[in-house]
Each structure stands twice: as structure tokens, then as C-alpha cells.
Copies of this chain bind each other. A is one copy, B any other.
Amino acid sequence: MAITIDLNADLGEGFGRWSLTDDEALLAVVTSANVACGFHAGDPSTMRRVCAGAVAAGVRIGAQVSYRDLAGFGRRSMEVPPDELADEITYQIGALDAFARAEGDRVRYVKPHGALYNRAVHDQEQAAAVVEAVHRFDPALPILGLPGSLLLQRAAERGLTAVPEAFADRAYTRDGTLVSRRQPGAVHDDPQVVLGQAIQIACQRTVTASSGETVAVDARSLCLHGDTPGAARLARVVRDALEAAGVEIVSFA
């Protein structure tokens, strides 16, 4: 049986006059596109273009849902009451789904963005709110998130498909969690290390922690970053290396 993995990246993270992600290049690499839905980024025309490109490229469309925070790019954690948060997420999924359907497909999964992603790792109420919104929209939609997060636990408990992801360019602790970005060495700069970690995650389902131990990492998808200079090129190289290692790149959704 072939080893398979999904590649996901954030796309459509511009807004109006501003662009950020190289959507065209990323669509040629990933199998799952986390499309910004207007709350942290993503104007309607960009959403349409990314959906059209994703359908043309056979890439799955996911709703990258966020706090309502354009000024902070969704990176500022917010105390949103759970009901309100669920409604804000429903709104975003619905908006994206209209573009996906207009292009002949539909939203295939949901992934929280930025501060909401991080908060749903440990915040019971907000994790439950995300799950509730997805369940309400379509109980068949998977949620993509961090292995071990409350978000994926709640999703599984509610009967949703919980899809864990790993990072090729982030350092891991011996506990299998990510080294905080505030620590030195949290992000791998060396492309060879990134490639090696990608292949190790896909083929051995492990990473080498920064402390040296080999640690199990359960991941059905690899998250590639798309908003840094050279990101799209690195993503291409990672995909090529995975395929050269015999890994089949297929979406989970």
C-alpha cells in the first residue's frame, strides 16, 4: 500500500488591493487549499478566483475561518462568546461555499486560522464552537487541526472527521508539540531540514525533536507556509522530494 499524505497551505490571503500569497504557484503544489473567507483576509473576488483555480487544478477547497479581525490578520486572540463565534464561522463557511459551488465544487473541510487555530488547541468553549459551526453546516465536513488539540478531540466526539496535520518547517519538542515561535530555532531555515522532516513525517510518521529524540507524529496532512518570501518555491521542492521518496500526494477531503 502506497504511503500517502495531503499538502495544505493558506491561500487567498490578500484583501482588495493587497495580495500576500502566491495563489497560482501554490495551487500547482498543494492538494488542499485553506481559503481565507473575509474575516482575517480574503475579499470576495479573491475567493472566487482561488476557488476557480482550485477546481481547475483538482485541489480541495477548505474554509480557513478566523476571528473578525482584518486589522490584526486574525492573529489576535479574542474572547468571543461561543454562540457568537459559531455564528461567525457559519457565516464564513457559507460565503466560501457559494464560490466553491459556483465553480462546480463545494467546501470540503474547515481549518481555523491564526489565533483561533491556536486557541482551539486548549480552549474548551471555542473548540466546541468551531465544531458546532461545522456540524451545523455539514456533519460530513472534516476539521483540519493540530494533533492532540481539543479541537480535534471535540470534532471526533461530535462525529466529525478530525484530520491532524504536521509541519515540515517547525521544530518539535520531545512531547510532540511545536516549539514556541518565541524560542530560537522554532522554525527551520535550512531547506534540507525541511525536506528531511517532510519525508520523515510522511514515511515514518515521526519527527526528530529539537532535543534529539524520535517522536511519533500523527498527521494526514502537511501544512506548507505560503506567506513568506520564496514560500511557493519551497513548497514545490517539498512536494518533489516527497514524490521522489515514493509518497503519493492526495487530499484527505
Give chain A's interface residues, CB within 8 Å of chain B.
13-20, 38, 41, 43-45, 47-48, 68-73, 75-81, 83-84, 87-88, 90-99, 101-102, 115, 136-137
Contacts and interface: CB of A to CB of B under 8 A. Distances in A.
A48 B99 contact: no
A132 to B, nearest CB: 10
Closest 6 CB pairs of A and B: A94-B98, A18-B18, A44-B87, A17-B73, A44-B91, A77-B79
A90 B18 contact: no
A101 B98 CA distance: 13
A94 B76 CA distance: 24
Contacts of A70: 15-16, 70
A122 to B, nearest CB: 14
A48 B41 CA distance: 23
A233 B232 CA distance: 26
B99 A90 contact: yes
Given A14-B18, A20-B18, A41-B17, A80 B90 contact: no
B44 A90 contact: yes
Contacts of A136: 102
Given A16-B73, A17-B73, A44-B90, 5 more contacts: A43-B87, A47-B87, A47-B91, A76-B78, A90-B102
